[in-house]
Amino acid sequence: MNSVVITGCGLITPLGNSIGEFERRMFAGDSGIRDIRGTLVADNFPVPFAGIIDDTGLPSAEALGLPSGRNSRGLRYAVLATRQAVHDFPEGLPLDGIIYGTPGGVFFELVVDTYRDIDTDRIQWNRSRAEYLLEVMAKDLAERGHGEIAPERLISINSACASGIHCIGMAFQFLKAGLWQRCIVGGIDAGAWESSLMNFHLLNALTTADVPAGEASRPFSPDRSGFVKSEAAATLLMETRKSAEQRGARILAEVCGFGLTSDAYRLTDGREDNLSVIRAMEQAIETAGIQKEDIDYISAHGTSTQLNDRLETMAIKKVFGDHAYKIPVSSLKSQTGHPTVASGAMETVACILMFQRQRLAPTINFRAGDPECDLDYVPHKSRPAEVKYILNNAFGFGGQNACIVLRKAD
């Protein structure tokens, strides 16, 4: 079996549109969340906050050779994040596939924009397919000298908020088994639109707290009241260690364990016994071939909802026992909000930066006092730490649970 490594990464996020800017702001404890009333939504819109990408300095859709319009934003961000990830990847070296987390369904705004013409012959139905995004990415990679990717190797995944880690885990399995040598993985969510925000609001999942925008996402705090919907694109270049070493690539991290389970319970709420979440974490650690005590840090799903943060903390205690109190845990979503299908990939990039700097990202806005959330959540400020193994968690609506174990590069 092959060992599997990450050799490239790129992202477009509310905390920055480059690895350097994202790194600086993440460790500084900045927030990328802002008030959207009166700008992106009406003054009386029930959802006041979102994590919005500032794309004023990014190339336009036209400059990238992409179709213009609101529905092209996700394409832009995914292409730009992917170009960052393959910046040092040699031309002429083929990629075996793309596995990418994509939003599900068709946004109401896309339907409205399309039907304004009324002329059904002009409706570009093709662009509403999730696979269309991957086809555009594959075309861009081919034009940049990375070869054609067969359509059957363009894999679009939507397992809700578990999608990013699910994609990394699937690639891990393909590469480990020797089916592929190198591939692109990641996720995109550029849907902080009125309809998407309203959908989550009607599920009582989003915070509407009367607080400053930068303090709205407060995972594990007793007064947490829901997550903040956000946007992000994150792309990783994954390959076998043999492939990476043969071309002299810089190895950023190793993916060494993967767990994937399903609650088979409800469309939104997690199981109260959390058995499937516990099993996903255990699977990831077992397949990594390490002991639970080897985990130095946990990148939490940490959405800032009452239910998720309580159940995730409970699951960590079940998996690690008393040792859970010795493991730092933090939630990047306190800074970025929750970009759903892109979150796991974005947080994996954050983990790589923590390996490189031997420093932990904080949980900003944390307030102690919830007796059921009593672990070390790295409150307020980043701090130095010796980090060799990281457990990265992602749990999605529908009871979809995905976890990976990452190892620091030698």
Q: Which residues are catalytic?
A: 161, 301, 338
341 within 8 A of 101, measured Cβ to Cβ: yes
Provide the b/e sequence for 193-220 (b: ≥16 CB within 10 Å): bbebbbbbbeeebbbebebebbbbbbbb
163: left (phi over 0), alpha (psi -120 to 50) or beta: alpha
List strand residue ranges (DSSP E) for 88-206, in order: 98-101, 154-157, 182-189
Residue 273 and residue 359: Cα distance in Å, rounded? 33
SS3 233: strand
Residue 331 and residue 309: Cα distance in Å, rounded? 10
- Length, in residues, of the chain: 410
Instruction: Give the list of residues 6+ apart from residue 102 with CB closer than 8 angstroms, or none.
Output: 74, 130, 133, 134, 156, 157, 158, 163, 187, 188, 341
Show the CA angle centred on residue 392, arms to residues 264 and 104, nearest 5°. Answer: 50
Tell me the C-alpha to C-alpha distance, in Å, between residue 406 and each of 135, 253, 287, 295. 29, 7, 11, 9
Burial of residue 225 (number of CB atoms within 10 Å: 0-12, 13-18, 19+): middle
Helix (H) or strand (E) holding 393: strand 389-396
Residue 226 and residue 186: Cα distance in Å, rounded? 25
